[in-house]
Amino acid sequence: MPQAPAIPQVTRRRHDREIVALAVPAFGALVAEPLFVMADSAIVGHLGTAQLAGLGVASALLTTAVSVFVFLAYATTAAVARRVGSGDLQAAIRQGMDGIWLALLLGAAVIALVLPLAPGIVDAFGASPTAAPYATTYLRISSLGIPAMLVVLAATGVLRGLQDTRTPLYVAVAGFVANAGLNAGLVYGAGLGIAGSAWGTVIAQCAMAAAYLAVVVRGARRHGASLRPDTAGIRASAQAGLPLLVRTLSLRAILMIATAVAARMGDADIAAHQIVLSLWSLLAFALDAIAIAGQAIIGRYLGADDAVGAREACRRMVQWGIATGVGLGLLVVAARPLFLPLFTSDPAVKETALPALLIVALSQPISGVVFVLDGVLMGAGDGPYLAGAMVVTLAVFAPVALLVPALGGGLAALWAAMTLMMAVRLLTLWLRARSGRWIVTGSTR
């Protein structure tokens, strides 16, 4: 945490209002995202086991593919927020349009790969012979919506940079409702089966992208910003996003290693791991909402050449991260008797999951600070450092996690390794935050 004098009470209250105004709607939008998959699963599940299994494979592939490009939101948020802080809204929206054009180009590239390679990709992920045709159908159709999904990411970054997290919340909720209605109508009403579910998702994603584009285009016209693609600007957006792509891939590798290790332990362990991981991911939404607020607020302060304000905001958000982490940890401990029966009635799975849940609860204050500082450094445009720090974290975690089964450790030991991973992230991020090297003021970094 950066060294600074105690924050005056008036300033602290101002920061609190900013954090709440941005974080609460951001949390709602984040929670709405996984509801898409849940709605699809609930509807397709009544078609049959093979269809649901196919959906599970295809949706996992799509979710992974889209999450890899989350840098479109993160990098765009930081760049736009800096321009907002400098008072140049025209340049801010122009910067956002560069991110949206990049999203369209990447989306087209993904479609070109997925359409012909879908059967091979599905087979590579181990889909059964009965599920594979359904997975291929869903993947091919849904891939047509990937450009829209990536536009949603980039446009969300634009609005976050403009200090607006309410519009993404409204669009996410409307998108979920539309997706559920379209899926039900096309799967059963039109009799399209799993293809209907895929088309419903594509239509809902395209509608969400259209809604975002309408908002951004209206803002561009209001401030006289060009909507045409700019090669230099698109290239700059890609260069800013590349380090964050490395960071994201490293984090995905950590989660994949943890799941692979759990799978080698036995059925009860992998089942318990999935339960604990689902809770860990849900808690991450709450902490990530504060991180999103951090991206927008820090970028704005730095764009306004206010280094002192950026430091004070960072300190206050770290305090929020600690407090939120403690609260979430206590909630996990208190709710564990109610949480586990929601997922399993198997005593062996419950017994295996319980110690891991307690470890997750104890690690939440660490996670709170990690998420906040991650958001602060993203808002500062400090992507290269974040990439390097995550690669170091992966290099520490991988051998420790792989040694867990070799040394006879169980799921609790694996989640202790996950806590070590978060502790390494905390150390690397705290050292950077304390150094102050992330504080680079100006409309661009």
Cα(151)–Cα(155) distance, rounded to whole angstroms?
A: 6
- Mind listing the pLDDT tens digit for each residue in 45-56? 778 878 888 887
State how far the alpha carbon of 64 is from the alpha carbons of 119, 243, 373, in Å.
17, 18, 24
pLDDT band for 7, please (50, 70, 90 cuts).
Answer: low
pLDDT of residue 282: 82
Cα(236)–Cα(368) distance, rounded to whole angstroms?
A: 31
State how far the alpha carbon of 77 is from the alpha carbons of 17, 68, 303, 307, 380, in Å.
19, 16, 12, 18, 10
- Mind listing the pLDDT tens digit for each residue in 254-299? 988 988 888 888 878 888 887 888 888 888 888 999 999 999 999 9
Percent of the chain with pLDDT over 90: 63
pLDDT band for 5, please (50, 70, 90 cuts).
Answer: low
pLDDT of residue 379: 94
Cα(251)–Cα(257) distance, rounded to whole angstroms?
A: 10
Cα(164)–Cα(55) distance, rounded to whole angstroms?
A: 34
pLDDT band for 2, please (50, 70, 90 cuts).
Answer: very low
Once rounded to an integer, what is the mean pLDDT over residues 118-137?
A: 86
pLDDT band for 376, please (50, 70, 90 cuts).
Answer: very high
- Mind listing the pLDDT tens digit for each residue in 296-323? 999 999 999 999 999 999 999 999 999 9
Higher per-residue pLDDT: 8 or 71: 71
Structure tokens at 423: 């502790």
- Mind listing the pLDDT tens digit for each residue in 386-438? 999 999 999 999 999 999 988 888 999 999 999 999 999 999 999 999 999 99
pLDDT of residue 1: 47
- Mind listing the pLDDT tens digit for each residue in 185-237? 999 988 899 999 999 999 999 999 999 999 999 999 999 999 999 999 999 99
Q: Identity (one letter) of the amino acid at 405?
A: P
- Mind listing the pLDDT tens digit for each residue in 62-105? 877 888 898 999 999 999 999 999 999 999 999 999 999 999 99
pLDDT of residue 350: 85
pLDDT of residue 212: 95
SS3 string of the chain?
CCCCCCCCHHHHHHHHHHHHHHHHHHHHHHHHHHHHHHHHHHHHCCCCHHHHHHHHHHHHHHHHHHHHCCHHHHHHHHHHHHHHHCCCHHHHHHHHHHHHHHHHHHHHHHHHHHHHHHHHHHHHCCCCCCCHHHHHHHHHHHHCCHHHHHHHHHHHHHHHHCCCCHHHHHHHHHHHHHHHHHHHHHHHHCCCCHHHHHHHHHHHHHHHHHHHHHHHHHHHHHHCCCCCCCHHHHHHHHHHHHHHHHHHHHHHHHHHHHHHHHHHHCHHHHHHHHHHHHHHHHHHHHHHHHHHHHHHHHHHHHHCCCHHHHHHHHHHHHHHHHHHHHHHHHHHHHHHHHHHHHHCCCHHHHHHHHHHHHHHHHHHHHHHHHHHHHHHHHHCCCHHHHHHHHHHHHHHHHHHHHHHHHCCCCHHHHHHHHHHHHHHHHHHHHHHHHHCCCCCCCCCC
Percent of the chain with pLDDT over 70: 97
Q: Kindly report the average pLDDT of the chain as a whole number.
A: 90
Give the pTM: 0.88
Cβ atoms within 10 A of the Cβ of 252, count? 14
pLDDT of residue 265: 85
pLDDT band for 345, please (50, 70, 90 cuts).
Answer: confident
pLDDT of residue 63: 79
Once rounded to an integer, what is the mean pLDDT over residues 354-378?
A: 95
Cα(339)–Cα(291) distance, rounded to whole angstroms?
A: 26
